[in-house]
Chains A and B, each alone.
Chain A
């Protein structure tokens, strides 16, 4: 049997997706039986020039993790798309922007001033900043151009499959490798283009915690109360994104006695994970007054309990959400007297 060719590349990510592939443990040896890993910078020595020399579509499958936020990420995404038959958007950053996607909450000026000149460990009175080109006596040095907005992989190239998770779990990876192996060895059909390699249910369906139909009176941060390990997080007043989040992760954070923060992204039925969660929260919140008669002020007081709405509802999905990014500074609105 001819071996298939596999690549695993990273954009703006953390390497956790690469470790996730190692976490399939002895099964990685099975992967080596059916596949040559032709490009995987964390683990093997293939270089960009080797990829450039490959015929188009000659890589059977590329797993691409990390978001796209500089010219190098975009170039590599396009190069690997050209050279690969199948591209999988691998992990939450590639699928939704992930934690690096929170970068869409900031702007260039703030970041540059802060990082290179304002931090207490900064030594930069000359205000030196990284440059696209630096001329040295030895030759020119280049750096990629960083984009203003963090993008998901499918905002840059055509993607065949999606596997969310921060990082994707061993089960999901094994499931996908099983599909590919069956396809290679027995000619089994591949899933339809655009398929999500994850559960079709919500995380609440997978969670073992006991639920009632209890309403909540106030919202707590996890450090503010003793958390009952058997009871629904949301019913304890802790914002848990389980009801708006796709299952498939095994509810591991809940096993760790912490709420879901939504890394698996929204289910197929939901367009915007944060909007869905806001709606869920509104329906569980006990409102003593007649809801329809609540004043703006009362609503604002209720909502103020969510101290960081963007970080709470869009922690992993900002670039893929309806909001996508912060576009300007909030102006100080003068209260009318």
Chain B
């Protein structure tokens, strides 16, 4: 195989506006608008999310128990995250404590979900940029191109292990995409010893595959000096922001449960919250050019689309989880975590890692952790126990928070005494990252496009800025206005308001 392609032929842009539509190799809809100034340099760039659904509104009136089936449709790539987060919120709504086996089954399902999601992102969406090169021809820059480059046997391993992860979810959840297993206070189905044995065998294989993935990442990315120069260039892919993630009592990363921890750009802990407290810390700002809201850390506030300690913009990504925590509870992933930290320490970085492209590395380490966690749970003697349902109270209010593959996910519900939903709020993984993605897209575009010179490869490198986040605009666009909202303010000549016309 020939080496990755790092540059391509530039042309002179004749327009002051460059549109990338749709942005590709991510989940959901999006486009990028880049505006050039009079010298052909980037004046501004926007990452726009052009569509919405309307879950918060149309979930009202539904049976609250159905919400974990309905809200899984926020996203078909991470339905497992929504299904379980929703199920945790339902535990709260019914004031229920699931038996230990029910929680372990959820965790086993979720570990498999992470293995699937991180394999899908790294190999199917992101790898082409590194294996083939950011400036490889667009027609080959995809998973089939990657398989062509690395060979069918490696491609088959990728496919096989994502398939294993899907299989484990399907057995526990009925379906891998849009599972039905979660019930308030428990799970719907016990697993048999035969199934457990199969899970164990598949998990062992997934651990080996995840180890192999660490090698691939090291060989393709970390040992390539050209890539390191790009990745460690603070002028292209780098944002100093706050970071959010979920940790257990020992400050280790926990995907399913724990407390939410926020650190400032220097690494100091600035908040720790649980459940309903989330509204004290997380707020969503609205800008008129995107349907996706912009989260920020409430105590610091919204200061516009700027990074730094004085701006409440934060990231909630695999890299954030590595930044806020002391690593993982499993040995192999912890060793990779130490290697990760050591590499950046050697490069002079003591606090949190703010290099956007390091998200890819964090994600492959998390893949290893998820596989190890899956193996651990598949070997747990309690996992086949038949006690999987807890007692329920009259419906009320509940908040579920977990770490989705793409960031901290919050579902908040209220129901009346008949179990009919009266309130839903959703703060999803990618909405956390909407603001920093915009910062990264603007910064990378400014660094890469100069003096009217633009190329397909350079524009792909702008796309790599958001791709590192593995954004999911399906998740993030869960609201659905009917028609375009319009408001006209008619003023008198002195500027005072005469009349406000509004269609909403």
A interface vs B, CB < 8 Å?
Answer: 10, 12-20, 22-23, 25-26, 28-29, 32, 37, 41-49, 69-70, 72-73, 98-100, 102-103, 105-116, 119-124, 127-132, 134, 136-139, 141, 143-149, 166-167, 221-223, 226-227, 229, 252-258, 261, 263, 307-308, 310-312, 315
Contact = CB atoms under 8 A, between A and B. Distances in A.
B283 interface: yes
Given A10-B29, A114-B57, A307-B418, A136 B70 contact: no
8 contacts: A15-B472, A18-B76, A29-B147, A106-B58, A110-B57, A112-B485, A130-B485, A143-B291
B159 to A, nearest CB: 5
A145 B482 CA distance: 9
Contacts, number: 311
Interface residues of B, number: 113
A275 to B, nearest CB: 20
Given A18-B76, A111-B54, A221-B63, A100 B289 contact: no
Contacts of B481: 108, 111-112, 115, 129-130, 146
Nearest to A38: B139
A129 B288 contact: yes
Contacts of A134: 288-289
B251 interface: no
Nearest to B389: A226
Tell which of A37, A143, A226 has the most Cβ of chain B within 10 Å.
A143
**Nearest 9 A-B pairs (CB), nearest first?**
A16-B76, A256-B174, A108-B482, A138-B35, A99-B73, A258-B180, A14-B76, A257-B189, A115-B479
A29 B21 contact: no
B385 interface: no
B353 interface: no
B142 A48 contact: no
Contacts of A16: 73, 75-77, 79, 177-178
A67 to B, nearest CB: 9
A16 B184 CA distance: 24
B181 A258 contact: yes
A145 B486 CA distance: 11
B329 interface: no
Interface in B251-299: 278-279, 282-291, 293, 295-296
B248 interface: no
Contacts of B144: 29, 32, 37, 44
Given A15-B28, A29-B155, A124-B286, 4 more contacts: A16-B75, A106-B60, A121-B295, A146-B484
A141 B73 contact: no
B125 A43 contact: yes
B137 to A, nearest CB: 9
A115 B57 contact: yes
Contacts of B61: 105, 308, 310-311
B483 interface: yes
A211 to B, nearest CB: 20
Give the residue among B77, B155, B480, B483 with the most A Cβ atoms within 10 A. B480
A103 B23 CA distance: 26
Interface of B: 16-17, 20-29, 33, 35, 43-44, 46, 48, 50-54, 56-58, 60-63, 65-66, 69-70, 73-77, 79, 94, 120, 124-125, 138-139, 141-144, 147, 152, 155-156, 159-160, 162-163, 166, 170, 172-181, 183-185, 188-189, 278-279, 282-291, 293, 295-296, 302, 389, 392, 412, 418-420, 425, 427, 460, 472, 474, 479-487, 503-504
Which residue among A10, A19, A29, A119 has the maximum number of chain B CB atoms within 10 Å of its CB? A19
A106 B285 contact: no
Given A19-B76, A100-B73, A253-B180, A108 B483 contact: yes
A256 B76 contact: no
A221 B65 contact: yes
A17 B412 CA distance: 27
Contact of A108 (B120, B278, B392, B504): B504
B143 to A, nearest CB: 6
A258 to B, nearest CB: 4
Contact of B51 (A44, A99, A144): A144
Given A12-B51, A307-B419, A120 B425 contact: yes
Nearest to B70: A99
Contact of A123 (B62, B76, B284): B284
Contacts of A256: 172-175, 179-181, 188-189
A20 B177 contact: yes
Contact of B54 (A28, A106, A132, A141): A106
